[in-house]
Amino acid sequence: MRFFDKQIGEFQREIDGKGKSVFAFHGKLWEDVGRNEIVMQREAAFELHGTGFELFTSDKLGKDEIIVVGEDLKDLKNGTLFARVSLIELDSVSDEQTAHDTVKKIEYIKYHYFPKGYMVRTNSLSSEENVRVSKKAVKEGISFEKAGSLLISKYKENSAVKAVKLFFITDKTVNYTALNSLSEKSREITSALDRVIRNLNLDCDTCKLKAICDEVEGMKELHFKNAGK
């Protein structure tokens, strides 16, 4: 899958040279409470405000890892800008429909990820992702490593997921405006793929997603293939 290659390159450039802490994925998972736990403001240690999104590749990523760029949860004292970026290696798929369905299923996982004391609020119409962390969870030792291992375990319930590099970013020197733009572009790519797969508006001159097809490697070829051109 090459559709997200440009965005992956841009993301890697944004965090290049930043301090990182790298943790291997393991079986010691933070508790999943099974539903979105309500953390009241008076119970909160701090809030993280930002974006969360997935980028997919067919390139080999190696071992599953959680990478923290900036301060970990135990070190944060106040709310901060934040990003969660999941770089996901997918197994080779037989056709574009399967690839599309797999991407949609994996993106949906963020709505079924419920770490104890770590309330994730997402917006289905954007890539906005905000997190409220409870004082109790901080006291009990929650970390991005532990919460991230839980999320990776959810991703890997899908057999098409071969490896995950999961980034949690709190570094104040990171360009969060650029990351927000990348998250929106990833949504546009998925939307364009959805329209092509479902044969919606294959007239390039009138399609509002024409710019995405022109920019993303392989999208225009898929478009013409589905149009029978």
Asked if 114 and 37 count as a contact pair (C-beta separation under 8 A), the reply is: yes
| Separation between Cα atoms, residue 89 and residue 69, nearest integer Å | 20
Over residues 73-93, the mean pLDDT reads 91
Q: Supply the mean pLDDT for the chain.
A: 86
Q: What is the pLDDT of residues 3-51, one digit of tens each?
A: 889 999 999 999 999 999 999 998 778 999 999 889 999 999 999 999 9
pLDDT of 229 > 50? The answer is: no
pLDDT in the model for residue 223: 47
| Separation between Cα atoms, residue 218 and residue 3, nearest integer Å | 7
pLDDT in the model for residue 119: 96
Over residues 197-219, the mean pLDDT reads 56
pLDDT of 214 > 80? The answer is: no
| Separation between Cα atoms, residue 120 and residue 38, nearest integer Å | 9
pLDDT in the model for residue 176: 96
Asked if 134 and 158 count as a contact pair (C-beta separation under 8 A), the reply is: no
| Phi, psi (deg, nearest 5) at residue 114 | -130, 70
Structure-model confidence comparison of residues 96 and 61, the more confident one: 61
103 contacts: CB under 8 Å, gap ≥ 6: 54, 56, 90, 190, 193
| Separation between Cα atoms, residue 177 and residue 212, nearest integer Å | 20
| Extents of the domains making up the chain | 5-175
Domain 5-175 CATH assignment equals 3.30.1650.10: yes
